[in-house]
C-alpha cells in the first residue's frame, strides 16, 4: 500500500543533542512537508520541498534542518539550537496539483526532551 512512513514513533532527546526524524513516501509525490503540532495550536510549517535537491523554509524553520536527496525521502533534523523541541512532528506530501488537493500525512513522531 502507498503511504508515508515516519520513524521513530517516539523519540527522546537530551539537552544539546541533535536528532533526525525519518520520512519516507512511496506515493511518487513530488512535494513533501514537515509540520509541528503543539497542544492548542494549529499545525505550523517547518520546511517544505517541491522537488529533489530543493527545499524552502516555512514559518518556524529556526533550529531545524532538512535534506531532499531522493524523491522518496525528506528527513528532518532537530538541532540543539531548537530550544523547545517537544512536540508532535508530522510529515506530509502532495501529488499533482500540490496543496490544492490536500495533504497525505504520515503517522507522526512524538519528540520529547528529557
Partner 1 sequence: QKEVEQNSGPLSVPEGAIASLNCTYSDRVSQSFFWYRQYSGKSPELIMSIYSNGDKEDGRFTAQLNKASQYVSLLIRDSQPSDSATYLCAVTLNSGGYQKVTFGTGTKLQVIP
**Pair 58, 48: CB distance under 8 Å:** yes
Number of residues that bind partner 1 (CB under 8 A): 18
Query: According to CB under 8 A, which residues from 18 to 47 bind partner 1?
Result: 40-43, 45
CA atoms within 13 A on the CB side of 5: 9
Question: Is 12 or 101 the residue whose CB approaches partner 1 more closely?
Answer: 101
- CB 18 to partner 1: min, Å: 24
2 scored as a contact of partner 1 (CB under 8 A): no
Residues contributing to the site for partner 1 (CB under 8 A) = 40-43, 45, 56, 90, 98-108
Amino acid at each position: 500500500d502507498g503511504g508515508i512512513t515516519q520513524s521513530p514513533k517516539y523519540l527522546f532527546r537530551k539537552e544539546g543533542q541533535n536528532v533526525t526524524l525519518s520520512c519516507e513516501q512511496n506515493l511518487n509525490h513530488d512535494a513533501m512537508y514537515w509540520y509541528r503540532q503543539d497542544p492548542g495550536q494549529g499545525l505550523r510549517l517547518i520546511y517544505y520541498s517541491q522537488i529533489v535537491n530543493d527545499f524552502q523554509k516555512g514559518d518556524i524553520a529556526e533550529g531545524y534542518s532538512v535534506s531532499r536527496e531522493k524523491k522518496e525521502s525528506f528527513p528532518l533534523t532537530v538541532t540543539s539550537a531548537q530550544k523547545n523541541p517537544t512536540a508532535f512532528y508530522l510529515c506530509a506530501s502532495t501529488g499533482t496539483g500540490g496543496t490544492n488537493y490536500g495533504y497525505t500525512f504520515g503517522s507522526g513522531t512524538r519528540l520529547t526532551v528529557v
